Amino acid sequence: MKQLALVVPCYNEAEVLRETHTRLLEIVSQLIEAGRISSDSLIYFVDDGSADTTWSLIEELSATHAHTAGIKLSRNCGHQRALLAGLLHVEGDAVITVDADLQDDLAVIPEMLDAFSNGKDVVYGVRKGRESDTAFKRNTALAFYRFMHLMGAEVVDNHADYRLLSRRAIEHLKQFGETNLFLRGIIPLLGFPSGKVFYERHERHAGVSKYPLKRMLSFALDGITSFSMVPLRLIGIMGMAIFCVTSAMSAWVLAVALLGDSAVPGWASTVLPTYFLGGVQILCLGIIGEYLGKMYAEIKARPRFIIEQTTR
């Protein structure tokens, strides 16, 4: 039988943690009884520097339940790094990552294991639809996936971070050492056989979302700049386009000045190019600066996370 590990990143999830543990423990127990997984399978809660009682609850659950363990990061490192900390430090032939908010349907875990048994190293949990989202969130999510594809990044539509990885996939994932993490783009790069299971996403059981609009935009920007050079290439195309437009405008201004008397002296040749080129330069510097910032973070090669404490 295969050993299963469930990795659950937690950030201020004290309100929902007990219920999450109860449901996960029930599934693990059922799978063990059915002979699907070994008796040493574990649920790992990764505390991402929570400010509430999340870690004390994890310690309590770990002390009272044999199939529960905890990993505490020294500070809040972010959802992606907390996921990676769990993936790189847990034991298991197969590892499933799932959020603590109970929005992902845990009932499809047996389907993930079926796909794993059939030779899939990666099994993506994919939402069937987004009817439960607000119109704003649904449209921005669809725009994000389309834009990522347009930028040349390989991502799975309607997939977050609910997935199964085999031990072989995790061992190769260790070779990816980048600081700016976007696991939704990194995992497909592994190239191993993959499958999908589809599920309906539920409402959050308790607490509040840890991905407000500001963090969602930052996450999307990380994904784009980590996996696509298209924005930099667009700067070159934009420069060529500006050159052509400026040349045409210069010809028009010259024609008006030579053939007519309606031209306002100095206006067109000064105001329009100044505003236009100024805006384009600021935009281009912003894009280049974003990439330079990513390079700066990568070159420093600081630890992506520090594990302060574990319960095992």
Lowest mean pLDDT among 42-56, 96-110, 121-135, 136-150: 136-150
Q: What is the pLDDT of residues 37-70, one digit of tens each?
A: 999 999 999 999 999 999 999 999 999 999 999 9
The upper half-sphere exposure of residue 69, i.e. CA atoms within 13 Å in the direction of its Cβ, equals 19
Locate all alpha helices (DSSP H) within 160-266, ordered by sequence: 167-173, 183-189, 213-227, 230-259
Please give the structure tokens belonging to residue 76.
């809040």
Q: What is the pLDDT of residues 278-307, one digit of tens each?
A: 767 777 777 777 777 777 667 767 788 889
Give every CB contact of residue 310 below 8 A, 6+ residues apart in sequence.
69, 70, 71, 72
Regarding pTM above 0.95, the answer is no
Q: What is the pLDDT of residues 216-270, one digit of tens each?
A: 666 666 666 666 666 766 766 776 777 677 667 767 767 766 776 665 666 666 7
CB 21 within 8 A of CB 59: no
pLDDT of residue 128: 85
More confident residue, 267 or 28: 28
CA distances from residue 104 to 19, 205, 302 in whole angstroms, order as listed: 14, 11, 32
Please give the structure tokens belonging to residue 308.
């302060």
Q: Which residue reads 């409402």 in tokens?
A: 203
Under CATH, what is the fold of the domain 4-208+302-310? Spore Coat Polysaccharide Biosynthesis Protein SpsA; Chain A (3.90.550)
pLDDT at 29 over 80: yes
CB 169 within 8 A of CB 87: no
- Helix, coil or strand: residue 111: helix
Please give the structure tokens belonging to residue 52.
């509430």
pLDDT of residue 263: 55
Gap between the Cα atoms of 46 and 44, Å rounded: 6
Gap between the Cα atoms of 226 and 271, Å rounded: 37
Strand locations in 94-178 (E): 94-97, 122-127, 159-166
Give every CB contact of residue 278 below 8 A, 6+ residues apart in sequence.
none
State the burial class of residue 227 (Cβ atoms within 10 Å of its Cβ: 0-12, 13-18, 19+): buried
